[in-house]
Amino acid sequence: MFEFLLYSLLLAVLPIFQSSQSNSVDTDKSNTTLSLLEILRDEFHSADVKEQSKLPSRDISLEKCMMPCEMTAKLMKEEKHSLCRNLQHSLVSYTRSTRKLIRDMMDEHQRSLEFLSNQVRELMNKVQSLSVEALRSNAEMFTLKPVPSHGRDCSDIKETMDAVAKIPSGIYIIQPEDTDYAFEVFCEMDYMGGGWTVIQRRTDGLTDFKRTWTDYSDGFGHLPGEHWLGLRKVFSIVNQKNTHFQLHIALVAQDDTTSYASYDDFRIDDETKFFAIHLGRYAGSAGDAFRGYSQEQNQDTAPFSTSDIDNDGCSPLCTFEGQAVESCSVRQNNTGWWFNQCGLSNLNGSPLDSDLCTQPHIRWDTWTQNGVAVKIKAVTMKIKRVYSPVPS
């Protein structure tokens, strides 16, 4: 019986070895194993024959053939079914675990993405809040903190700082007395004793002086070059208590000859009176073009005019350079000035106009050569404190 079981077992494993033989690289080893199995089968068969020969009155040939074959087939079938079942279970289990693994990984990625999105949202909120805070700080800095000024005007700066060291010409910050804001001005610290606050400069014609009332009130241009400081700022300087200001007008002709006009008590009214000009005594070499030669030409006490605010005294028309004009500003390139029936001066004209007869230009018509107005290519207007008693 034992031999029979052993033989059955061998028959069951033989196909496996045969199968592995066809796929195995180690062919010799498989052949050896196969030979061994065949020998064992033959031996078992011999032993079986011997055993069968001892059994009396039985169909030996039938049992010898049928029993092992049936058992073998049954065993092989069960083995195959078992293997298939195991394989099927393994595949199902593997598929399930793989699906679960993929699902877990996707869940993990989703959680990571959500976490990162939240982080980004929080950071953006922080950036926005910091931007708002920075803007508020800047606004507070400019609105609440006063800008430190160097003095009340260029004369004040010259007096207080020049005692310590010589100070150069350039841009300084001033805050005139009783003025609630500071602003920049160009100070000339070398010319005629220094301490001059420049209120107008015209040199190369690159700055557009065709401006409205608002621009002439607030100022425009580039402080180191051509500019108009602005009537409101000029008013705040000359309106300081216990001060008098001298106005100096420096002129340069196209042939580079120079001339000047000076007024020892210069001031202007406030905006409600259209910044009307008031001039003291004249001194200089260029003539008193502000006052001209007759009362009709006198610009002293005249209000300021621009192309959009007409105070030029032409009612309804003036005669200017032989023509009837309604607006002295419009007739003179839309520039602003203290026109009075136009008059003999307008220092805001263009220095590039060469034809004095037909084109607007810098005008100071009391400066003449051989009876003809000089062609002016540059002008500077500047003011300085005076301390000598001024006659009232």
Residues near Ca ion (CB under 5 A) are 310, 312, 314, 327
Q: Strands 372-373, 170-174: parallel, antiparallel or unpaired by DSSP?
A: unpaired
- Minimum gap (Å) between residue 310 Cβ and Ca ion: 4
- Minimum gap (Å) between residue 253 Cβ and Ca ion: 30
Query: How far, in Å, CA of 174 to CA of 198, rounded?
Result: 12
DSSP 165: S
Q: How far is CA 282 from CA 47, 72, 184, 261, 263, in A?
A: 155, 141, 29, 7, 5
What H or E segment, with its residue span, contains residue 361?
none
Query: How far, in Å, CA of 229 to CA of 233, rounded?
Result: 7
Express the helix, strand and coil content of the chain in percent, nearest 5 each: 45, 20, 40
- Minimum gap (Å) between residue 211 Cβ and Ca ion: 17
Contact indicator for 145, 122 with CB cutoff of 8 Å:
no
Nearest residue (CB) to Ca ion, 246 versus 329? 329
- Minimum gap (Å) between residue 312 Cβ and Ca ion: 4
End-to-end CA distance of the chain: 153
Nearest residue (CB) to Ca ion, 327 versus 380? 327
CA neighbor of 266 nearest in space, from 274, 275, 257 = 275
107, two tokens: 């869940």
- Minimum gap (Å) between residue 230 Cβ and Ca ion: 23
Nearest residue (CB) to Ca ion, 213 versus 245? 213
167, two tokens: 């100070």
Nearest residue (CB) to Ca ion, 177 versus 308? 308
- Minimum gap (Å) between residue 143 Cβ and Ca ion: 40
- Minimum gap (Å) between residue 328 Cβ and Ca ion: 7
| Torsion from C-alpha of 238, 240, 246, 251, nearest 10 degrees | -30
- Which residue type does 249 have? I
- Which residue type does 289 have? A
Nearest residue (CB) to Ca ion, 264 versus 312? 312
Which residue number has the CB closest to Ca ion?
A: 314
Contact indicator for 320, 342 with CB cutoff of 8 Å:
yes
Q: How far is CA 212 from CA 123, 198, 236, 337, 353, in A?
A: 48, 21, 20, 11, 21
Nearest residue (CB) to Ca ion, 30 versus 307? 307
- Minimum gap (Å) between residue 315 Cβ and Ca ion: 7
Q: Strands 244-253, 376-386: parallel, antiparallel or unpaired by DSSP?
A: antiparallel
Nearest residue (CB) to Ca ion, 297 versus 327? 327
Contact indicator for 149, 173 with CB cutoff of 8 Å:
yes
Nearest residue (CB) to Ca ion, 330 versus 383? 330
Nearest residue (CB) to Ca ion, 264 versus 310? 310
- Minimum gap (Å) between residue 311 Cβ and Ca ion: 8
Nearest residue (CB) to Ca ion, 156 versus 310? 310
- Minimum gap (Å) between residue 204 Cβ and Ca ion: 30
